[in-house]
Amino acid sequence: MRATLRDHASRAVDRIRAVAGLVESHALALGALATALVLVGVFYYPVATVFVDAIVVDGRPTIEPLVSVLTSRFYLVEIFGFTAYQAFLSTVASVALGLPGAWVLARFEFPGRETLRSLTILPFVMPSIMVAIGFVATFGQNGTLNAVLRALGLPTIELLFTLPAIVVAHAFYNAPLVARVTTAAWESVDASAIETARSLGASPVRAFRDVVLPQLLPAVAVGATLTFVFTFASFPIVLALGGFQLATVEVFIYSRIQNLAYAEAAALAVVETVISLSLTYLYLRYEGRQRAAGQGARPQPRRSLWPESVTSRELGTRLAIVGYAVVVLAVFVVPIASMILTSLTGPQGELSLRHYRFLVERQQTGAAYQVRPLPAIENSLVFGAGTLLVGVPMGVLMAVLTTRDFRGRALVDALSMAPLAVSGIVVGLGLLRGLVFGIEVFGTRITATGAVAIVAAHAVGAYPFVTRNVAPLLGNLDPRLIESARSLGASRVRALLDIELPLVAAGVVAGAAFAFAISIGEFDSTVVLAEGSTSYTMPVAVERYLGRRLGPATAMGCLLLGVTSLSFVVIERFGGRYGRGGF
């Protein structure tokens, strides 16, 4: 009896092992399937429900909406042309502002460097209204900048409601992105390559140009591409700081969707997406050709921010850094400080905690149907964590799949970047149709809203960042490392977890930070999917608290800043330790 029982038990164990083994050996395929399902469910299908309006009108297929957009001088020149122009300028400005930051962060040692690097991602999560408030307070006629200029006896500047205002605001959002990815690349430049160049007679400038620059270019290119794609679809900040005469494509998509003119909205969105994705495709073709040297580089030592010797070169370098710090102060620090100041200012301009008291009060007495601060913070953090759990594996998986060489790789890769390229307004409408309203199957309507749907939507928006941070590093890994692991008995997934991921940990952590930031800052999808539930997040709360008085919204915004800053520092501190030893 007992023997048979043990027999049964061991057979059962064998069966479980067999199933587990099957799952393990097909884990990548299963993961890819799951990723595909999520993408289709919360992105491709919902977006398709909107895009179809561009080619099907009143049940009949037509190309009329697309043709009318593509033959309209107004749309092509005034709108798409201008949108691309401002996106180009914004990209140039973001790169120009971001690169020196990367240089300082990668090449100099100073107290708080790591924290500063963690915080560079902060602008990413800022609701546009907060940025608008900060910018008006900083760059307005009576803003801080002009006050300083006046005090110095210098002429004042008028920046608001002009193209430069938009460009600077876009740089505010995107220069940190450029700095971020470039810093990572800079830190992985092998010192011995530079030393070799120097020993061969290259001047420091020449060594930089010949050795460092080529290794930075791919990172700068990814930063620039993402910046262009983002600024191409920029919307609220353009109208808030530039005005309607500087309207972009997205402004018109919004207008048409508001007026339920779906065919035209969809046609505009399709053209917008095609342009963004084409650019992404070109970038990915370029990235595919950049396969730099392998792993195990010895990073250059960082220099102290304080000059060790007083030479003209050393002083010049420090002077340049000081100059850059002043620009950073004006573009990043003062606007953020202005937001904080606004949140602490009462109606007569006095310092006051009344807006924070409002938050406390709302938390204590708010009704169930009102937005309360603590649940918003809690939801943001939970969704952020959920996005990490879902989006990071998705992004890593996509990176693994697309670093393999196959025909059309760049195309698949570009399509996987689509969540960044499609108008947020279109995604919002698509989610409303596809998930909130759901699909009718056998007489029951299947819908998806609330936390799970929000996390899925955030993960879809976030995973391309993980992929873009991880894929180039994975591509540089020696395939024999994985083959060695596998011949030692590791399954493909095991080799990924034990060998590849620890070796590209820097990319995974950077991608995770971006993913978290995307989740925290996301608005369009969240507000649609949180409908009628208590799943609102911090940016939603900021928008809700906007009223005639800015105080409550800015107080909530500052809470958002504080919570997010803390999260980033934690993510990077925790993530930084993960490199060695694997999981």
Partner 1 sequence: MKRRTFLRTVGAGGVAGLAGCAGGSGGGGSTSTTESATTQTQTGTTTGMAGGTPELVVATYGAFVDAPSTSPGPWIKETFESEFDATLTFATPDSEINYFIERALQGVEIDADAYVGLNVDMLIRIDDRLDDGLFADVGDVDGRGEVKDGLNFDPQGRIVPYDTSYVSLVYNETMSDDGTFTAPETFDGLLDSEYEGDLLAQNPTGSSTGKSFLLHTIKAKGPDGYLDYWQELQNNDVRVLSDWSSSYTAYSNEEAPMVVSYSTDQVYANREDQDLAKHQIRFLNDQGYAYPEGMSVFRNADNPDLAEQFLEFMLRPEVQGEIAQRNVAFPATTTAELPDDFAEYAQAPPEAVTFTYDALRDNVSEWTQAWERQFASN
Partner 2 sequence: MRLTLEDVRKTYGETIALGGSEGDQPDPAAGGGANGISVDVDDGEFFTLVGPSGCGKTTTLRLVAGFEPPSAGAIRFDGESMRGVPPEDRDVGVVFQNYALFPHLSVRENVAYGLKFGDPPGGESDAERVASLLELVDLPDAGDRDPAELSGGQQQRIALARALAPGPDLLLLDEPMSALDAQLRERLRMQIKEIQSELGITTLYVTHDQEEALAISDRLAVMNGGAIEQIGTPRDVYRRPATRFVANFVGDNNVFEGPVVSIRDGREFEKTTTSVDNDRKSPDETEGSGRERMVDVDVGGTTVTVASDRRVDTGDRVVFCVRPEGMSVVGDGGDGPGTDRAGIESRARSGGDGSGTGFGDTPANVLDATVSKAEFLGESTRSHLRWNGQEVTVRSVDPLEGDVRIGFDPSAARVVETEQGRGP
Region 543-582 residues binding partner 2, contact defined as CB under 8 A: 579-582
| Sign of the torsion formed by the C-alpha atoms of 45, 472, 91 and 336 | positive
Of residues 378 and 498, the one with the C-beta less far from partner 2: 498
Contact with partner 2 (CB under 8 A) among 88, 156, 502, 549 = 502
Q: Give the list of residues 6+ apart from residue 544 with CB closer than 8 angstroms, or none.
A: 371, 536
Work out the burial of residue 521: count CB atoms within 10 Å of its CB; fewer than 13 is exposed, 13-18 middle, 19 or more buried.
buried
Q: Please count the residues of this chain forming the interface with partner 2, following the rule CB under 8 A.
A: 25
Q: Which of 384, 416, 411 is nearest to 32 (CA)?
A: 416
Interacting residue with partner 1 among 10, 115, 141, 192 (CB under 8 A): 141
Binds partner 1 by CB under 8 A, chosen from 282, 494, 502, 578: 494
Q: Is 367 in the site for partner 1 (CB under 8 A)?
A: yes
24 lines the binding site for partner 1 (CB under 8 A): yes
Find the part of the chain contacting partner 2 (CB under 8 A) among 144-152, 228-236, 428-436, 479-487: 479-487
* Least Å from the CB of residue 487 to partner 2: 4
CB-based contact 456:390 (threshold 8 Å)? yes
Question: Which of 12, 33, 411, 566 lies at the binding interface for partner 1 (CB under 8 A)?
Answer: 33
User: Could you say whether residue 380 binds partner 1 (CB under 8 A)?
Assistant: no
Q: Looking at beta carbons only, is 457 or 485 nearer to partner 2? A: 485
Given 113, 354, 486, 549, the residue binding partner 2 (CB under 8 A): 486
Q: Report yes or no: 390 and 459 within 8 Å, Cβ to Cβ.
A: yes
Q: Which of 394, 421, 426, 538 binds partner 1 (CB under 8 A)?
A: 394
> Does residue 21 belong to the site contacting partner 1 (CB under 8 A)?
yes
**Does 497 interact with partner 1 (rule: CB under 8 A)?**
yes
Tell me the H-state helices in 348-423: 354-365, 373-403, 409-416, 418-421
- Scan residues 179-198 and list those touching partner 1 (CB under 8 A): none
Task: Give whichever of 25 and 142 is closer to partner 2, judged by the CB atom.
Answer: 25
Which two tokens mark 120? 């560079």
Kindly state whether residue 478 participates in binding partner 2, applying the rule CB under 8 A. Answer: yes
Cα–Cα distance between 540 and 214 in angstroms, integer?
42
- The Cα–Cα gap between 144 and 326 comes to 13
Q: Which one of 114-122, 275-283, 409-417, 483-491 is the stretch in contact with partner 1 (CB under 8 A)?
A: 483-491
Instruction: Measure the CA angle with vertex 302, ends 297 and 305; round to 5°.
Output: 165
Instruction: Tell which residue, 53, 2, 47, 21, has the closest CA to residue 430.
Output: 47
Please identify, among the stretches 109-117, 153-161, 206-214, 484-492, the one whose residues bind partner 2 according to the rule CB under 8 A. 484-492
- Residue given tokens 């279109």 in the structure block: 426
Does 337 participate in binding partner 1 (rule CB under 8 A)? no
Among 198, 382, 549, 578, binds partner 1 (CB under 8 A): 549
**Nearest residue to 571 (alpha-carbon basis) of 487, 522, 510:** 510
Nearest to 415 by CA among 36, 21, 6: 36
Q: In whole angstroms, what is the distance from residue 201 CA to residue 395 CA?
A: 43
Stretch that binds partner 1, among 226-234, 265-273, 488-496, 506-514 (CB under 8 A): 488-496
Tell me which of 4, 480, 547, 583 binds partner 2, using CB under 8 A.
480
The residue among 164 and 236 lying less far from partner 1, judged by its C-beta, is 236
192 touches partner 2 by CB under 8 A: no
534 binds partner 1 (CB under 8 A): yes
Binding to partner 2 in span 74-133, by CB under 8 A: none
Element (H, E) at 33: helix 27-39
Out of 72, 491, 534, 565, the residue judged to bind partner 2 by CB under 8 A: 491
Tokens 């205002």 — which residue? 165
d(CA 492, CA 482): 8
- Pair of tokens at residue 416: 């996987």
Which residue in 163, 217, 451, 481 binds partner 2 (CB under 8 A)? 481
Q: Residue from 427, 432, 506, 513 that binds partner 1 (CB under 8 A)?
A: 432
Of the candidate residues 158, 487, 570, 574, the single one contacting partner 2 (CB under 8 A): 487
CB of 510 to partner 2, least distance (A): 17
Q: Rounded distance, CA 435 to CA 525, Å?
A: 11
Site string for partner 2, 280-299 (x = CB under 8 A): ---------------xx---
51, 332, 545, 568: which one contacts partner 1 (CB under 8 A)? Answer: 545
Check: CB of residue 558 under 8 Å from CB of residue 340: yes
DSSP 122-157: GGGG--HHHHHHHHHHHHSTTSHHHHHHHHTTPPP-
Query: What is the C-alpha to C-alpha distance for residues 159 and 150, in angstroms, rounded to an integer?
Result: 15
Do the Cβ atoms of 247 and 78 come closer than 8 Å? Answer: no
Is residue 507 close enough to count as binding partner 2 by CB under 8 A? no
- Contacts with partner 2 by CB under 8 A lie at 25, 295-296, 478, 480-481, 483-492, 494, 498-499, 502-503, 579-582
